[in-house]
């Protein structure tokens, strides 16, 4: 893995957007996974700006949503779909045929996981998979204890994920399960990108990137991935040893 540290969250966000723009310039038909949450907002703002300025062309690529709260769709404020539509797709009049996201209201969630797995494999695999990191080191909704070799799956949400997840909603919301791409997808992506900012992430970043590799710390899988790019601001990198 390659760790890059930037002075501010804005610098980190721009660097992440630059990676995506460079990927699109090299391969316009790229298959790219976008996360939701607070971490990618700045990146998405830059990408919308780049698209409007002609610096990034999204007309041929396909965007995949990383995960979703089970039981929600784009009409639910706080859902991952709502986030990506509000912060990206709607701002660019993005072709809906080039968007692939979980139907978290599907009657058969296992079939939905199989559908997403098949979609990715039939398109030649992921070119770029971008993830944030949770306070318990989850990537997507791959919670502690998740096997590293899982593809898309339904997860039981950890208490900390339920607690922190409330910030995305306008009122207290019951969260029990998630549906998510798996850590095996991250391993197989041609480029895996972790973005993180803020001193509140410093402890879990250090544990994940320089601690023991274990399924108890899902993000520790990145230590095994030579193709992983880690983009941090100074706050998130504050507890790393020998980081530059």
Instruction: Note the residue count of the chain.
Output: 244
CA distances from 142 to 77, 91, 124, 236, 239 (A): 22, 29, 23, 20, 24
Catalytic, out of 143, 153, 185, 233: 143
Helix (H) or strand (E) holding 63: strand 62-65
Note if 90 is an active site residue. no
CA dist 130 and 136 (Å) reads 18
Q: Is 138 a catalytic residue?
A: yes
Q: Of the listed 73, 123, 136, 188, which one is catalytic? A: 136
Residues 82, 138, 153, 185: which is the catalytic one?
138
Beta bridge partners, 160, equal: none
Known catalytic residue at 163: no
The yes-or-no answer on residue 108 being catalytic is no
73 to each of 15, 51, 118, 138, how far by Cα in Å? 30, 26, 21, 22
- Count of other CB atoms within 10 angstroms of residue 77: 14
Cite the active site residues.
Answer: 67, 136, 138, 143
């Amino acid at each position: 893995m390659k760790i890059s540290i930037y002075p501010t969250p804005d610098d980190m966000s721009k660097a992440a957007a630059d990676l995506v723009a460079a990927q699109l310039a090299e391969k316009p038909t790229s298959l790219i996974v976008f996360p939701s949450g607070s971490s990618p907002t700045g990146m998405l703002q830059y990408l919308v700006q780049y698209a409007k300025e002609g610096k990034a062309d999204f007309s041929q690529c396909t965007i995949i949503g990383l995960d979703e709260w089970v039981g929600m769709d784009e009409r639910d404020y706080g859902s991952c779909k709502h986030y990506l539509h509000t912060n990206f797709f709607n701002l660019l009049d993005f072709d809906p045929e080039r968007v692939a996201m979980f139907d978290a209201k599907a009657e058969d969630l296992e079939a939905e996981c199989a559908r997403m797995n098949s979609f990715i494999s039939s398109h030649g695999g992921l070119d770029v998979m971008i993830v944030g990191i949770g306070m318990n080191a989850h990537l997507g909704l791959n919670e502690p204890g998740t096997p590293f070799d899982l593809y898309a799956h339904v997860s039981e949400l950890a208490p900390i994920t339920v607690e922190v997840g409330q910030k995305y909603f306008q009122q207290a919301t019951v969260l029990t399960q998630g549906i998510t791409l798996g850590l095996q997808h991250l391993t197989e992506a041609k480029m895996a990108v972790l973005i993180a900012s803020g001193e509140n992430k410093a402890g879990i970043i250090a544990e994940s990137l320089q601690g023991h590799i274990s399924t108890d710390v899902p993000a520790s899988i990145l230590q095994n991935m030579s193709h992983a790019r880690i983009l941090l601001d100074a706050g998130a990198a504050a507890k790393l040893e020998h980081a530059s």
